[in-house]
Chains A and B, each alone.
Chain A
Amino acid sequence: MMTGREGTRFVARIHGAQNIKEIESFTQEFSELGYNYDLPVRTYSSGMRSRLAFAISMAFDFDTYLLDEITSVGDPRFQKKARAALNQKRETANVIMVSHAPGLLKEFCDCGIVLDDGKMTFYESIDRAITIYNAL
């Protein structure tokens, strides 16, 4: 029964944030949910849900961001905004992302891990990891 706003507040509280109001307005604006922000999350489409989740993560300065298929969030314009926000975070934080899109990985990552047949292999260079992945 939680609304987007209440969900944001919950996350802000468990992280011990003091400026909950500020986080709320940032999340509402960034997620582009408008008045839907005050409607229950269960009424959201999956795109709206991931936009909310992404906006909430962007409201905090974490040490490391774990991202799963971030490009599937929202329309191309929102994706561009998301990439810009993530690039800004990357100056002070680490990013671990899961994706099938080599272009995106090249843009954000230095090293890569390829998962194949239950085994994972670490590669110092992302280009090498992508070459290996494409050859699978």
Chain B
Amino acid sequence: MTQLKKRHPALIVRDVIFAIFIRELKGRFGAFRLGIGWAIIDPVAFIFMMTVFRSITGSHSVQGIPFPVFFMLGYIPFNFFLKVQSQVTGAIRASQGLFGYRQVKPIDAILARTLLECLILLFVLALLFLVFLWVGVDVQVDNPLLLIASIFFLVTFGLGLGICFCILQSRFPESEKFIDIAMRPLFFISGVFFSLDEIPQQYRHYIDWNPIVHGTEMARAACYDSFSSAGGSIEYLAFWAVFFLFLGLALYRLEWKRIVAS
């Protein structure tokens, strides 16, 4: 009935990623009454609570960054890492039934989820920027390229680590529990609600080994020239992002056939 045209391999990948993307979209928001609304309510609630807590001390900014923007520039970049990582880690399991179709590969499910997560967070970020402008909070983006770079490398880091975890879990299901426990404290040590400068110098080395701190630091430094990061480095984040992406893709190449067959 329907004649199929011969497609270039890249077009097949595009078609498959798009098909999974649509499927994920429904799975992500279709089940909830407020749908995509939750993607906005969640950061707004966090920013509001943190701003109230820290305003109790009487101050209202960190190195010239107003509190609401300060927390947004911690929470959203952190989520670019964490959400991509957790979505990618669960990607293969969620799409296992689809690998029966020859053109659907695990990497398509991984890329579709990464794409969806990035689009959601970019939408939320843009919306929050507009809201801050509208209510008259002093938002600025002094170095857009650096902001793009820090978000890009946080996503890459999340993607790489996510692929590693995903393959580890498909090999050793028990590892899911360890990964869960290991990832939990990340929220508190990734500079979501503090900057490196606020940590006494002699304790900084307990914090600054974590590449994500460098991502949140650089996102803030990118937006406000007045914010001088105490030791944040985009190169350090980029190194670990590329390292884990390479490790993840190498593991993927070794394991994808077993994953499709299982």
Query: What is the distance, in angstroms, from B20's C-beta to the closest C-beta of chain A?
Result: 8
Is B2 touching A14 in the complex (CB atoms < 8 A)?
no
Given contacts A60-B1, A61-B1, contact A6 B23 (CB under 8 A): yes
Given contacts A1-B30, A6-B26, A10-B23, contact A16 B1 (CB under 8 A): no
**Quick one: which of B1, B3, B103 has the most chain A CB within 10 A?**
B1
Is A16 touching B30 in the complex (CB atoms < 8 A)?
no
Is B2 touching A1 in the complex (CB atoms < 8 A)?
no
The tally of CB-CB contacts under 8 A between chains A and B is: 55
Across the interface, A17 reaches (CB within 8 A) one of B2, B22, B23, B27, namely B2
Q: Which of under 10, 10 to 19, 20 to 34, or 35 or more describes the interface residues of A?
A: 20 to 34
Is B22 touching A13 in the complex (CB atoms < 8 A)?
yes
Using Cβ atoms and an 8 Å threshold, which residues of chain B touch A14?
A: 15-16, 19, 101, 103-104
Contact with B along A1-42 (1 / 0, CB 8 A): 110001001111111110100110010000000000000000
Is B15 touching A1 in the complex (CB atoms < 8 A)?
no
Using Cβ atoms and an 8 Å threshold, which residues of chain A touch B103?
A: 14-15
Question: How many B residues have CB within 8 A of the partner chain?
Answer: 22
Whether A130 sits at the interface, judged by CB under 8 Å, is: no
Closest A residue to B7 using CB positions: A16
Using Cβ atoms and an 8 Å threshold, which residues of chain B touch A12?
A: 2
Is B19 touching A13 in the complex (CB atoms < 8 A)?
yes
Given contacts A1-B30, A1-B31, A16-B7, contact A10 B19 (CB under 8 A): yes
Is B101 touching A61 in the complex (CB atoms < 8 A)?
no
Whether A59 sits at the interface, judged by CB under 8 Å, is: yes
CA distance A16 to B16 in the complex (A): 8
Q: Which A residues form the contact surface with B (CB < 8 A)?
A: 1-2, 6, 9-17, 19, 22-23, 26, 58-62
Task: Knowing that A6-B23, A10-B98, A14-B103 touch, tell me 15 more A-B residue pairs with CB under 8 angstroms.
Answer: A1-B27, A1-B31, A10-B19, A10-B22, A13-B16, A13-B18, A14-B16, A14-B104, A15-B15, A16-B4, A16-B15, A19-B2, A58-B1, A59-B2, A60-B4
